[in-house]
Amino acid sequence: MMRVFGAAALAAMLALPAAAQGTLKVGIVTVLSGPQATLGQQLRDGFALGVKLSGGRLGGLATEMLVVDDELKPDVAVTRVRALVERDEVPVIVGPVFSNIMAAIQKPAVDGGAILISPNAGPSTFAGRGCNASTFVTSYQNDQVHAVMGEAANTDGYRRVFVMVPNYQAGRDAAAGFKRTFKGEVVEEVYVPLNQLDFSAELAKIAAAKPDAIFTFMPGGLGINLVRQYRQAGLANIPFLSTFTVDESTLPATQDAAVGFYSAADWAPNMDNPANRRFVQAFEAEYGYVPASYAAHAFDTAILLDAAIKAAGGVTDKEKLRAAIRSTPFESVRGPFRFGVNNFPVQDFWLLRVAKRADGKFQTETVRRVFEANVDAYASECRMR
């Protein structure tokens, strides 16, 4: 069962009685309004599919999803998370998409007694000294994916790269991650507002700089506009290296404009393992669109919770549940998966390229593995107790 709450509906939710015994309520915090809503939809649908394929029961408990729209506003997200933990007493919160929302909700979620599991946002602030026993990330530490593209740029012989990212935590992490592994020259480093849609000034700078390639991280609507404008500006001869800019959440809008552009990730729809084939086939049958990593990670989170709750014998003993989440094996769509010392994954990362499928749909596909069993750069700073 799934309920979705906006501002008005949330007030009604607060008056609801406690869930019946034997029912697990999971809070889903994601963005479902504005230009970034497609990312939140992917997260929500991926988790919902995991619940459905688990028979509607995670860990043997009938599962109800309480879905709230964070509106990409930290103050709104905090208010709604507090409602989830204080009024609905949810033991687990899954989300969010964006790192600025993660930074805002982590403390009220954990202080309220919930375990927070992020299927996307993985800011450095919670990977190192700020690591927490009740905070898990099932995607990656933000820097890692960008570091993949830095290493790929080295391998492919690019020496001069133009860097452009949005001016918020994940954008800064993206630039830092790329520069951590890239050995060439960053000819210019540009930070744009998170709500920017017109890139004409930045594209003129790229044309003037004549770099070997560009590296960009532009999620959601930012990426859609950038890709279209990049093609229209005649810059496609400059290799387009990106993260979360050309993926399955944006490809339905960019379509042919993105074909041949590069990305990096820990997962792609064409990964050939039984869990992934089952997931992709079921997802497209259920929702009619190609899943992105937001959906894949959220699906993994549901499957992980199913295994961990069974191993812990329920959700009442939070210490047992935390330990079970950390250590219980599950069949990930990515293949080998385990948590590191900071509750962030240790996993493989891949260079991807956008392709048009025989059925006319678009997806990213693996080109080559760049990192194997990669540990994020902040894990050594974690002193979790």
Domains, the chain, ordered by start: 2-140+272-339 (3.40.50.2300), 143-265+349-377 (3.40.50.2300)
The pLDDT value recorded for residue 3 is: 63
Count of residues for the chain? 385
Q: What span, in angstroms and rounded, lies between the C-alpha atoms of 262 and 247?
A: 9
The 3-state DSSP class for residue 314 equals: coil
The pLDDT value recorded for residue 19 is: 36
The pLDDT value recorded for residue 384 is: 83
Residue 76: DSSP 8-state: H
The pLDDT value recorded for residue 140 is: 95
374: left (phi over 0), alpha (psi -120 to 50) or beta: beta
Rounded to 5°, the CA angle 134-137-139 comes to 170
The pLDDT value recorded for residue 170 is: 80
The pLDDT value recorded for residue 385 is: 56
The pLDDT value recorded for residue 2 is: 64
Residue 256: DSSP 8-state: G
Rounded to 5°, the CA angle 56-62-101 comes to 80
Angle between helices 37-53 and 274-287 (to 10 degrees): 110
The pLDDT value recorded for residue 6 is: 55
Q: What span, in angstroms and rounded, lies between the C-alpha atoms of 86 and 65?
A: 16
The pLDDT value recorded for residue 195 is: 85
Positions of the chain with pLDDT lower than 70, given as ranges: 1-21, 385
Name, in order, each residue with C-beta under 8 angstroms of 121's C-beta and a sequence gap of 6 or more.
96, 97, 98, 99, 101, 102, 137, 139, 142, 170
